[in-house]
Structure 1
């Protein structure tokens, strides 16, 4: 990274302030180093429109920090009413504060998932939900990404203790919905860090 750490940090802070003024919210910047060989940093933004997110990413890539890293993965999702629970919204939209750790991954359902009866799908999702509620300390964020990339859904799990995500994911392997997953990688897991410390983290 060219220039001083302080200069790069100020530039990032300025960008985040401008983005906030345009109704773009930073959910978190995460240190994913050691958890992935291909990445050190993950950014999670949300906004009312896709165009605002595109603009924010372009602006980030023009900063000193953005120019010092290589973009290895990017995905976008949109909140749509849940199939069997129209009132459900992702935690980040419900005003739930961000947690210390996040695990982000996409998934694609089986080819026949959308062809089986509503009753059967509802029962499997209910079972999955009941099993997940055994881990209330893990908050969930599911958004739709059909036609926005290679995936159908994006999921972000947040918690303050890393092993809670590990334990919950292992537990949910026993859900009947597991029979209807074709793709659920890549996984990006990281610890939330102060934006002021990003430049130092990348040194």
Structure 2
């Protein structure tokens, strides 16, 4: 690892998904509104310390209703923010079916592929520039890590070249080794979902895909303001 990367600050990244208890929708209207406002204040209290980008999954997935994509330099802040949010009127009716923790890290495979704003060369993520995001946890097989560096580089070169054919899709790869159950969390931002679909189909044909161990569940999410995301909950 280069000394520059060792000394540079990396970001912690969290994709946290929420599901609202149907009982919340049966509460009086004023109580629901107050709970949403209280939840919003708890999240926004950390503005400047945690980047939060909200997304809705209502009507798209049955097991979660909204996502908060959170980024910070202080891991403990994730816990502090969520502790306050879950204590609110809305938070008491929320469960967290999925939560993925990761960090930024410079990829070892991108040295031969240099272009402006390149993903995986960055230790700092600038999120929320597209309407849609597609997220999934990712793991490679053990056999992948037993290959030579040259063999892995060759397959990753093919992978990267395929990605270049879909410039409307921005990939954010973050790393979870030792932090969470998966090895990576990948988040694709785009305004053109059809381009992401075509990209994924194209990647299935790449040689490196034979070394994929896990790439589900996949979450399709629509970016909203926090108020808009909470308003999609039906209350």
- Calculate the aligned-residue CA RMSD, in Å: 1.9
> For 2:63 and 2:99, how far apart are their aligned partners in 1?
13
1:14 aligns with 2:47: no
Q: 1:17 to 1:88 in 2, by over 3 A?
A: same
Q: Deviations over 1:63-111 (max 9, x none)?
A: 2232222210111001122123377127xx3536521011110111011
1:153 is displaced (CA, Å) by 0.6
Conserved 8 A contact 2:128-2:223:
no
Hey, what does 2:142 align to over in structure 1?
111
Count of matched residue pairs: 199
1:39-58 alignment, distance < 5 Å = 39-58=64-83
Does the residue aligned with 1:82 lie in a helix, a strand or coil?
A: coil
1:193 is displaced (CA, Å) by 1.2
Q: Which is further off, 56-65 or 35-44?
A: 56-65
Higher strand share: 2
Q: 1:13 to 1:69 in 2, by over 3 A?
A: closer
> For 1:84 and 1:129, how far apart are their aligned partners in 2?
9
1:7 is displaced (CA, Å) by 2.3
> For 2:99 and 2:126, how far apart are their aligned partners in 1?
24
> 1:24 aligned to 50, 56, 70, which one?
50
> 1:133 aligned to 136, 159, 164, which one?
164
Conserved 8 A contact 2:159-2:203:
yes
Q: Which is further off, 77-86 or 100-109?
A: 77-86
> For 2:223 and 2:91, how far apart are their aligned partners in 1?
18
Q: 1:108 to 1:57 in 2, by over 3 A?
A: same
Conserved 8 A contact 2:32-2:90:
no
> 1:99 aligned to 127, 130, 140, which one?
130
Relative to the length of structure 1, the TM-score reads 0.89
Conserved 8 A contact 2:138-2:214:
yes
Conserved 8 A contact 2:39-2:88:
yes
Hey, what does 2:122 align to over in structure 1?
89
Question: Which structure has the bigger radius of gyration?
Answer: 2
Structure 1 segments unaligned to the other structure (5+ residues)? none
